[in-house]
A and B are shown apart, each in its own frame.
Chain A
């Protein structure tokens, strides 16, 4: 029950998708439609896990008066308050959307905008030409950077033409090779799952 059933479910689910895609009968009885719906619904009913985990972790912070516990109070109040508001007025509600548009959008956008500063700092501290390969990488990077900005364009059409060539020929070739490798890797993992060799998701070792 603990190992065999989950393995059976895994293999059956994978084979059902293959059956639905490649077999005429599977297509006729619309196996994929049912599988997609089951995946969609089961996944959604598992969404509460984030809410529960956050409640447990931050509830504990408050109970034990851990450092910064007042932030946990704010988190729980805002999380449940916003949830309640959303359930009452729906996600189209004026207040619900106002909070999302004015608070969340700015928080999220700013959080990620910090990366601009980190790349500036990393460029200064970490981008070193230690080898010929690193030098080639740097030249390609500089050329693409120049070709991407109006300033580079003003230097002459060769800057943009060169950037386009880098993007369309060496970059495309290298990225395609990497993607083919990644697809083969994903395919191999899927085969390991379907053959029952990969069991990490069942808490075991593969």
Chain B
């Protein structure tokens, strides 16, 4: 008897039972899930970060500024003590500022490439220089759809302006096609999630399929 797949199979059935009705077995499995997830991240970080940082970086290499960073992180726990709970804003402020700094400094580069790529030559040609009609039409359509979809998000220009008004409504159609594509792909993704479970139950556990 393989105990691993047996345990996995029973836990899988426990979670699936929720589809019929919420029940004690599902609740138990749900609690197990939270318990293991919480401890797993702590153990991994202990091995990959806390232990080597303290042993090597701080104690051996003398990076005491790292110890200060650790203390900054520890200040978050002051929120459990109402009188000094405000101190927990210090680490939070650092994290928020760090994130904002990255958005300002690093996010523009990929975006600029996206914008550059939007303003391309409409006429597409092959290696011999002959016009590729299909690709050219696609380039024009792509540009029109992009600009009109952007117009849909114009909130500072009134829709009474015919260019913005008609543009935005054309953009709305483009967005609808995009959302339709997103739905179509979501179906594939959601079915895949359950297919994996079936392959586990019938294959790895019950050995009904290879």
Residue numbers of A with Cβ under 8 A of B are 1-2, 5-7, 9-18, 20-22, 34-35, 37-52, 54, 68, 71-72, 74-76, 78-80, 82-83, 86-87, 90-92, 96, 98-119, 123, 133-134, 136-145, 147-149, 163, 165-181, 183, 186-187, 189-191, 193-194, 201-203
Contacts and interface: CB of A to CB of B under 8 A. Distances in A.
A144 B181 contact: yes
Interface string B25-52: 0011111111111111111111111100
Nearest to A51: B38
Interface string B4-40: 1101110110011011000010011111111111111
B197 A110 contact: yes
A42 B73 contact: yes
B164 to A, nearest CB: 14
Interface of B: 3-5, 7-9, 11-12, 15-16, 18-19, 24, 27-50, 53, 65-66, 69-74, 76-77, 80, 86, 89-108, 111, 114-115, 118, 138, 141-143, 145-146, 149-150, 152-153, 171-188, 190-191, 193-194, 196-197, 200
B147 to A, nearest CB: 8
Given A51-B38, A96-B43, A114-B19, A44 B97 contact: no
A119 B187 contact: yes
A41 B184 contact: no
B100 A10 contact: yes
A49 B76 contact: yes
27 contacts: A14-B97, A18-B105, A39-B69, A41-B53, A46-B91, A48-B77, A52-B77, A54-B35, A71-B28, A75-B31, A78-B36, A79-B38, A103-B11, A107-B33, A109-B193, A111-B15, A113-B193, A116-B193, A116-B194, A119-B190, A137-B180, A149-B188, A165-B138, A174-B149, A178-B153, A186-B103, A193-B100
The DSSP consensus for interface residues of chain A is: helix
A177 B97 contact: no
A107 B11 contact: yes
A144 B177 CA distance: 10
A17 B29 contact: no
A104 B145 contact: no
Contacts of B191: 116
Given A13-B98, A102-B7, A104-B40, A169 B34 contact: no
Nearest to A111: B15
A6 B184 contact: no
Contacts of A48: 42, 77
Nearest to B58: A41
B33 A108 contact: yes
Given A102-B4, A104-B37, A176-B114, A42 B70 contact: yes
A76 B182 CA distance: 40
B95 A117 contact: no
A126 to B, nearest CB: 11
B181 A148 contact: no
A202 to B, nearest CB: 5
Nearest to A92: B47
A14 B184 contact: no
A9 to B, nearest CB: 4
Contacts of A51: 38-39, 42
Given A86-B42, A104-B37, A180-B150, A140 B15 contact: no
B8 A102 contact: yes
Contacts of B115: 180
Given A75-B35, A178-B149, A173 B97 contact: no
